[in-house]
Amino acid sequence: MYAAMNRGAIVTLTANPSLDRTIELAGTLMRGAVQRAAGSHEESGGKGVNVCRALKASGTDCIAVLPGDDSDPVMAGLRAADIDYRNLPIGTALRANLTLTEPDGTTTKVNLPGPALDTSLLESLVALTVDACAGPGDSMPASWLVLAGSLPPGLPADFYAVAARAVRERFGAAAPLLAIDSSGVPLLGALLHDAAPDLLKPNGEELSEVTGIASGEELEANPPLAASAAMTLIERGVGAVLATLGAKGALLVTRDGAWLATRPPVAARSTVGAGDSSLAGYLLAATAGQAPPDCLRQAVAHGAAAASLPGSTVPSMEQTEPGAVTVSPLELHPVPPVIPRGGPASTMPKEQD
């Protein structure tokens, strides 16, 4: 699907970054009780930031673009992790999210909305993204641009579409491939405003949301139906759909076919960032020129490895086991065309991540 790329870094845009604090509980979470923690972790986070951390762990050049002041703890965490970044000062602190994990891997997240960004900052954040995609000096432009996560209050529903169009207009045929990993407002806003990505990474609920087909639970329980739903997005201009289906594994759908990947269960410690690691695994395989089934295989291997690690810790390539992943072709069945449940951008549901 993708030839091996002799191009620049992978760029991620995280419009609503966070400082992710994870507390590992020694027992089951009990509401209203005082409990002891077995450990804690703190990482710079947000979907695009997590993707960058996973790419960096495997030695791949990446640049994180995000709002936030130089002195913000999120930026301090990126510097400590030696991750290249471009930040837009906003004069206020970024959000801090809290995650509670139980010994059996059950994860409870409390996400803040993030600081409101004046729409006047939109143009500056988009320009920062375009500059990051250009690369320093005469270097090659970025190979991928990842638009990931929720939108902070104040940014319009089509913000990711605006960013995608700006990059594509600036670089033309040399523009980086585009990946979108989001839900609700930014996801529907991108798809409804002519920003069909080369790769879309939904879960079952998000796939239902953007296609209007069945429910998230029904799609996760029925991979062939999920694949057929994903094909409706391919017919609308999306290059590939990488959908995670919970216990059923993950699937990849392109114009050339559909594949389902499964692997034996892992002992989960935290699911935080597992989906972001899956996307990083896919990108690592894609930039190496691997075939679609192998890109899917590495995506699942990365996600499983992330789930086995504490907090929002991301795995390196050496910590993944692609050989444990089974990939099988799926037969596609047509489904009737539908209108996304979100309707026009002005009436879209609020993004939940």
Q: Give the type of residue at 133.
A: C
Tell me the C-alpha to C-alpha distance, in Å, between residue 40 and each of 20, 31, 197, 201, 272.
Answer: 11, 19, 36, 29, 13
Q: Give the type of residue at 119.
A: T
The Cα–Cα gap between 282 and 288 comes to: 10
CB 13 within 8 A of CB 148: yes
The Cα–Cα gap between 158 and 280 comes to: 24
Task: Mention every residue, 6+ apart, whose C-beta is less than 8 A from residue 317.
Answer: 57, 58, 59, 284
Whether 276 sits among the annotated catalytic residues: the reply is yes
Catalytic residue among 181, 198, 276, 294: 276
Question: In which region does residue 102 sit, left (phi positive, over 0), alpha (psi from -120 to 50) or beta (all else)?
Answer: beta
φ, ψ at 114 (rounded to 5°): 95, 160
As a three-state string, the secondary structure of 115-146 is CCCCCHHHHHHHHHHHHHHHCCCCCCCEEEEE
Closest CA to 273 of 52, 31, 15, 13: 52
Closest CA to 86 of 59, 60, 68, 71: 68
Q: What is the dihedral of CA 60, 61, 63, 64, to 10 degrees?
A: 20
Q: Give the type of residue at 340.
A: P
What positions carry a catalytic annotation? 276
